[in-house]
Structure 1
Amino acid sequence: MKLLTYYFYCLLFTMMSCINTENKLRVEVFETSAKGNQLTKITEFLDSDTKVTIKLTPEQTFQTITGFGGAFTESSAYLLNKLSKKNRDTILRAYFAKEGARYSLTRTHMNSCDFSLTNYSYSPVEGDKNLEHFTIEEDRDDLIPMIKDAIAISEDGFKIFASPWTAAPWMKDNNHWVGGKLLPEYYDTWALFFSKYLDAYKAEGIDIWGFTVENEPHGNGNNWESMHFSPKEMTDFVQFHLGPKLENDGYGDKIILGYDQNRAGLKEWVDEMYRDEASSKYFDGTAIHWYESTYDYFPEALQYAHYKAPDKYLIETEGCVDSEIPKWQDDAWYWSKEATDWGWDWASEAEKYLHPKYAPVNRYARDIIGCLNNWVDGWVDWNMVLDRQGGPNWFKNWCVAPVIVDPDADEVYFTPIYYIMAHFSKYIRPEAKIIGHENSDDTLMVTAAINPDDTTTVVIFNETEVPKNINLSVNGKTVDFAIDAKAIQTVVIPKA
């Protein structure tokens, strides 16, 4: 009898162990934290009195991801050329290699921008309406080699879209690099400019995925290169000039993104861009920036833009910590609330609340998660590399980049922002689907996606001072772990 009882309990224990194993969710957890983790794989977790439940609902799907990445600028490319080959390769591999951040969506500028060494245009000859003297010679020393090297390193490949800050002054009503509008007699010339650009870059072996029509069409306070469009002017230019020109020249498959400025202005722009079938035909999506506020991600505006054109792209095409000289080798600063932006000093009193002092890490993590939870399908950082001054920038518009370098000393600093970007770009891949989730703690930000290879990625951001225990569940399976205070985690669930 005792022997039978023994066998019974052994069988029961075995059955319970199998049930527990079957219900156990296998995960890998990677963390970046104020305490010093840098996309570090975590296997041991601190215990906490704060309990959070997160339930994934994969049957609830949202947008398809286009990608994450940063911008190729003349300033970044120039700095890379001043570094040793070893450090140059280290940076490019950190952004594009499989073991790095695996950037999948990138931007570059057509003609010069503020993060150029000087003003220049690919159409330097005044009155050249047929662009017979079009040239990308200015890009050959720095920008083109950086892009080509990134292409060679990337195993998965990445998309590139290009943005003009301005046409050459001779095409504008104020004959100046800054401000003014494109003269109507040059609308066809300017459309031709885009086609010529595609030809020239194709000849270099660089495939351009698409364009934004104009960087910041409201202008930038008339500080650096800009060219103004109203919503109607841009829509008319695309519908009657740019769209047909690209189509006629065999580039009808190239992506055209309208607007390309702050989210607060979305409604009037998408209403005009998608005013009817004829205009909507040529717009593939809407581009947005975050400078209206790096604290508020404007969920209502994002929702409006999506439902206005649910089958179109909605891509955040530029964001950075601006109006700041980056701190060198000081990770703590990137986690502190001492950083400001342009609005801290310059916003109107009525809009000051949108520009509080706010930690750079928090800005990126909150904004990307907030965007992903409100239909945004791509998120692109600004410069990939800047120097210790936050330049070079011909206007002295200093900003922060994920990677800061000292070219004189040949030193490289990967700021915490680099690791924040990698939490998304490395683990949420193009064609992933954002899925639903339930989160019991509204101080914790969460987003989740199913990748094309059927792995699931969950990103959790805890900006509080309190560590939190997490119970994560999906499809009846659960796992318990913890997130530290002031930390971001990417949780990878392998294919079932």
Structure 2
Amino acid sequence: MRRFKRRSLLTVVPGVSLAAAFTFQAAAQAASGSNGDRVKVWLTDVSADQWVAKQRGISFQTGQTSNPLTINVDDGVQYQRVEGFGAAMTDSSAWLIDQLPASKRNQLMGKLFNPSTGIGLSLLRTPMGATDVNVGGNYSYDDMPPGEADPTLANFSIEHDVPYIIPALQQAQTLNPDIKIMANPWSPPGWMKTSDSMIGGTLKDEYYTTLADYFVKYIQAYSDAGIPISYVSPQNEPMGIPTWPGMFMNAYQETRLVEEIGRAFEANGISTKILAWDHNWDVPSYPETVFNDPVASQYAVGTGWHIYSGRPSHQTLTHNDYPHKEQFLTEATGGVWQADKQAGFEEALDTWVIGTMRNWGNGAMLWNIALDPDRGPLNSDTNGIGVMRGLVTIDPTNGLVSYNEDYYALAHASKFVQPGAHRIYSNSFGDGSIENVAFQNPDGSKALIVFNSGDTTETFSVADGTEYFEYTVGAGNALTFTWSGPTQHGSTPAATNVVDPTHDFTFEPASDPTTITYDPELLPLQNTVDNGSSFLTYSFPVGASIQAGTALDRSQWTVTASKHSDGNEAANAIDGDTGTRWSTGQRMKSGDWFQIDLGSSTSFSQIVLDNGEGDRSFDLIGRYQVYVSDDGVDWGSAIANGNGTMGKTAITLPPQTAQYVRIVNTEVRGSSAEFFFPWSIGEIDVYGSSSGSIAAPTAVSNGLQLQQWTSPDGAEVAIVYNGTGSRQSFAASPDGSYTYELPSGTSAMFTTKESSSFPAPAFGSMTPSEGIPGYKVTISGSDFGDKQGLGSVCFGSNHARIDSWSDTSITVYVPNGLPSGAVTVAVNGASGEPAGESSFTVTGLGTALPRTDWTATASDESPWPSDALDHMLDADIDTRYSSGTGQYNGMWMQVDMGQAQTFNKLVLDAGGSVGDYTRSADVFVSANGTDWTKVSTLTGDGEQAVQLTSFPTQAARYIKVVNTGSAGSWWSVAEFNVYN
């Protein structure tokens, strides 16, 4: 379950009813400022229950401001065109709206879609068939009995949508003629799939063309109903196979389907655009794999992104790699996992709206427009889970409509940014400060959205040309400013103290320029190598490659790994058969590693991890680091890091000579039990050493364009853009031994920082200094580097899983499998330089009791199947029990061990749900399940996701843990272990 940060200083406020909802038109009349107040202001203060409330207008001042918190707005720099903001008209949303009396329905639709009296939503997503949120069961537009098929689509019909979905879309279009609609299936008809069901499976080979025709028929039928479809994606969330309608589709399968849909659209004169992927931010190599195909790239105009893992900056990474592709946030939702309305509003506005649009987003769509008080209706044929929140809540029993925080977060943009606007330049101050995004509308007016993500009230300035104004905003509050009038560009700019770490590179032709954005936030998403005197970070778009040396003979190699699943041993990665593989068999975790013993000291400069083009292409490594060693014990600092890519991951290194190579995963991939993949390697190859070092280019030819810039922190940035019509190459090393090949229409980014520019890191202290495997340990010090980069923490030779990393503090988890006793903890800074070390004592636990025939009960249980009680007794750290509600005093869980046992320790391990530990609890034992004796107390001191409590040896059959505190987070236990 995705977790969101919460702001503890602010209180929870109740939902806003229809009667109390803010009426924009009336408020604008009541709160208008003087005629001279060019800047209009709208405020959201969640703690004061003010939602997009019109404030008194303010005036620009002529002069200069030296405020370090100055937002400089410049309409002379334009970025992407804005298509709009909106949400999804799901089956459940449309049905709930249809249940309202006509007057209430019209009032709600006006507040959603009318640009004048409502918030003017201008993007709508509508599913093509059943999802997890629809009133009845599974349905497609061509259902057949099990075992039967309809390859000619003779039975195709959109009759299901006629009663309430199509009328809702038609009314939205009437209220906002600028609206654009995106459609996509959660599943095609079951008979097209290997599962013969809308649940699970993948598309059969013989039905690619048929499914393309299915899209054609849908778009034609909707067009006949007066509803043009502007965008489609081939498949919702192709990465996962949920318990509701869904279909697995790897990037190569989607590439083929995009080609078929594109050809079918051409043949039928359909102008609907195709978006690739339509899933999470953190797998950009999926859509880039589609774009790398020359045929599919003609039809796939961009990418659809979801928010459930990754970050908005992945959009800019993909934009830079393929700058002519569009970017849309196509799904984001809040829900019961968010602590309060402040947390929900902050996530929606700060990350989904501001973050999306500052990272080249052409639009943002949230998930359900409307759900009922039980967060449904849910698909009656599946295990849909009622944990999500709509923009509004509709109670069909009484017609009450409540407007939720997501509605108002969208309003800060959709009410004031018109379709056809362009994002324009504004500098931002990042997380924990004043964040913003600026736009210029087609009529010339401007809109600036501001959010204070810090913990204190701030006074900031906004400068536009030769004028500026100042404003004060409280912590967690949001503002939208609008103004119009002549643009003030003169010789004396109002902003005098603006430092912007980002930079735009614009490439020819001038008639259709291409802009590439450098942002330090991209560096962790790119690849870094240690060249000795400098560190080079570079982009690697799918389709690009670096040629270096020839493959080494593997006959003398020995390979090992931190873990493997049955039948997927490490040796499978060097057996010459991509049909076999090494696999962790579990969700990837920071600290997982794969190691090669080359047999003797060997020179090399590239490692290639090959997963082929099949279903295992999803099993790519996330973030990684590479270490080398002469003895397999002393690993020193990492020499490279980067991100895995679909199919093949090529890791290019400065020339190395060593016997051992270790690749370490440095992040967790997958946000829930339904959507996760292990780390797999079908084949691994190491390539012989080139003579020089990889470096930023100093010159290019073959029609390539090169631009360079020095950042305020001294980084040297070089961008190569291939604006030619074909693949081109250039030297990526001074002696030409490394050759970079760049596809047409893509760019490569190189950032070089001198090693001497990094201060020497210093180890300070470590707390705690003893504990059990899984404990969180905090290491303080100085100059660790604010990004993990090449930095690492090792307990002996075991790489620790990193929880957080800042310049002065690192938190890690004690690796599993360590023997009892003292172990040396060594830290390397983000620049790869050793920071120092200390000693940690691993505490022994004794013998774990076998859990055969144990059963568990609890006061609260999440409706999500992956949160079932038996998961905390299944010896699988990647599954969990979870309460499904925030912690409260009296919440409990109980285990029946089947018979009396002797024990003296209890360990509750939250696994990947690191924030869901109990803050305080009492532990009781019983012989009969009726009479209980308290034996110990658990506390959340140190925020340990693994909690140990010891007590005098007991002989009992039952153990009960009773929560005595409270927390907004759920209570989750991945493993419940008892020791003697």
Pairwise same-fold verdict (TM > 0.5): yes
Q: Which residue type is aligned with residue 192 of structure 2? A: M
Q: Which residue of 1 aligns with 2:436?
A: 446
Q: Are positions 1:85 and 2:102 aligned together?
A: yes
Q: CA deviation at 1:25?
A: 8.0
Q: CA deviation at 1:322?
A: 4.1
Aligned residue in 1 for 2:413: 424
The change in CA–CA distance for 1:448 and 1:393 in structure 2 (over 3 A counts) is same
CA distance in structure 2 between the partners assigned to 1:384 and 1:440 by the alignment: 32
Partners of 1:431 and 1:452 within 8 A in 2 = yes
- Note the 1:334-345 alignment, pairs <5 A: 334-335=341-342
Shift of 1:137: 1.0
Shift of 1:321: 1.2
SS in 1 for 2:299: coil
Q: Which residue of 1 aligns with 2:685?
A: none
1:235-271: CA deviations, max 9, x gaps? Answer: 01112x11101110111x21000100000011x2133
Once superposed, what is the RMSD of the aligned Cα atoms? 1.9
Corresponding residue number in structure 1 for 2:201 = 180
Correspondence for 2:324: 311
Residue 476 of structure 1 corresponds to: 466
Identity %: 29
Question: Quick one: which of 347, 369, 373 aligns to 2:358?
Answer: 373
Q: Amino acid of the residue matched to residue 90 of structure 1?
A: Q
Partner AA of 1:260 in structure 2: D
Counterpart of 1:28? 40
Matched, 1:119 2:108: no
1:136-167 deviations in whole A, cap 9, x for unaligned? Answer: 1111112111111212222x420001010001
Q: CA deviation at 1:113?
A: 1.0
Aligned positions of 1:77-476 closer than 5 A: 77-98=94-115, 99-117=117-135, 118-125=137-144, 126-154=148-176, 156-220=177-241, 222-239=242-259, 241-251=260-270, 253-266=271-284, 268-292=285-309, 297-299=311-313, 301-322=314-335, 333-335=340-342, 359-367=343-351, 368-394=353-379, 395-398=383-386, 399-439=388-428, 443-476=433-466
Q: Which AA in structure 2 matches 1:165?
A: W
- Relative distance call for 1:323 and 1:245 in structure 2 (3 A) is farther
Q: Is the 8 A contact 2:332 2:367 kept in 1?
A: yes
CA contact (8 A) 2:233 2:274 kept: yes
Which amino acid is the alignment partner of residue 68 of structure 1? Answer: F
| Alpha-carbon distance in structure 2 between the residues aligned to 1:378 and 1:42 | 27
1:55-112 Cα shifts (integer Å, max 9, x gaps): 1132222211121111111101111122222221121111111221111111101011
Distance in 1 (alpha carbons) for counterparts of 2:102 and 2:178: 22
Residue 43 of structure 1 aligns with an amino acid whose one-letter code is R
CA distance in 2, matches of 1:416, 1:173: 41
Provide Cα deviations, 1:364-414, integer angstroms capped at 9, x if missing partner.
Answer: 112121111111111001110111111111234221011111111211111
Indicate conservation of the 8 Å contact 1:264/1:298, yes or no.
no
| Displacement after TM superposition at 1:51 (Å) | 7.6
Identify the residue that residue 20 of structure 1 maps to in structure 2.
Answer: none
Higher relative contact order, structure no. (Cα contacts within 8 Å, ≥ 6 residues apart):
1
Q: CA separation in 2, counterparts of 1:200 and 1:302?
A: 33
Choose 1 or 2 for highest CA Rg. Answer: 2
Counterpart CA distance in 1 for 2:392 and 2:371 is 7
Tell me if structure 2 keeps the 8 A contact 1:58–1:435. yes
Q: 1:323 to 1:247 in 2, by over 3 A?
A: farther
One-letter code of the match for 1:201?
Y
Q: In the alignment, which residue of structure 2 is the partner of 1:58? A: 75
Read off the aligned partner of 2:300 and give its amino acid letter: F
- Rounded Cα–Cα distance in structure 1 between residues aligned with 2:72 and 2:341: 31
Distance in 1 of aligned mates of 2:485 and 2:441: 9
Alpha-carbon distance between aligned partners in 2 of 1:248 and 1:199, rounded to the nearest angstrom? 13
Counterparts in 2 of 1:209 and 1:44: CA distance versus 1, 3 Å: closer
Shift of 1:447: 0.7
- Large movers: runs of 4+ above 4 Å: 439-442
Separation in 1, partners of 2:429, 2:280? 31
Structure 1 residue 318: deviation in Å? 0.5
Q: What is the deviation of 1:311?
A: 1.6
Bigger drift between 454-463 and 269-278 goes to: 269-278
What is the deviation of 1:323?
Answer: 5.5
Task: Report the AA paired with residue 480 of structure 1.
Answer: E
Contact 2:222 2:228 in 1 (8 A): yes
Query: What TM-score, normalized to structure 1?
Result: 0.83
The gaps in structure 2 that reach 5 residues or longer are 1-35, 59-66, 487-980
Paired residue type of 2:316: Q
Amino acid at match of 1:247: E
Contact (CA 8 Å) 1:181, 1:229: kept in 2 or not?
A: yes
Determine helix, strand or coil for the equivalent of 1:274: helix
Q: Whose strand proportion is higher, 1 or 2?
A: 2
* 1:25–1:473 contact (8 Å) kept in structure 2: no
Q: How big is the shift at 1:44?
A: 7.7
Deviations 1:203-241 (A, max 9, x none): 111111120110000124x221101111011001112x1
When normalised by structure 2's length, the TM-score is 0.43
Give the Cα separation in 1 of the matches to 2:299 and 2:40. 42
**Unaligned ranges ≥5, structure 1:** 1-23, 327-331, 336-358
Partner of 1:12: none
Change (3 A) 1:160 1:170: same
Contact 2:391/2:404 (CA < 8 Å) preserved in 1?
A: yes
**Alpha-carbon deviation of 1:440?**
5.8
* Matches of 1:201 and 1:303, distance apart in 2: 33
Contact (CA 8 Å) 2:461, 2:468: kept in 1 or not? yes
Does the aligned pair in 2 maintain the 1:456–1:495 contact within 8 Å?
A: no
- State the SS of the aligned residue for 2:282: helix
What is the letter of the counterpart of residue 70 of structure 1? A
Query: Structure 1 25/152 Cα, relative in aligned 2: closer, same or farther at 3 Å?
Result: closer
User: Contact 2:243–2:384 (CA<8 Å) still a contact in 1?
Assistant: no
Shift in Å at residue 276 of structure 1? Answer: 3.8
Shift of 1:421: 0.4
Q: How many residues align structurally?
A: 431
- Aligned-partner Cα distance in 2 for 1:439–1:421: 20
Which structure shows the bigger proportion of residues in helix conformation?
A: 1
Structure 1 distance, partners of 2:130, 2:77, is 43
Distance 1:427 1:175 in 2: 47
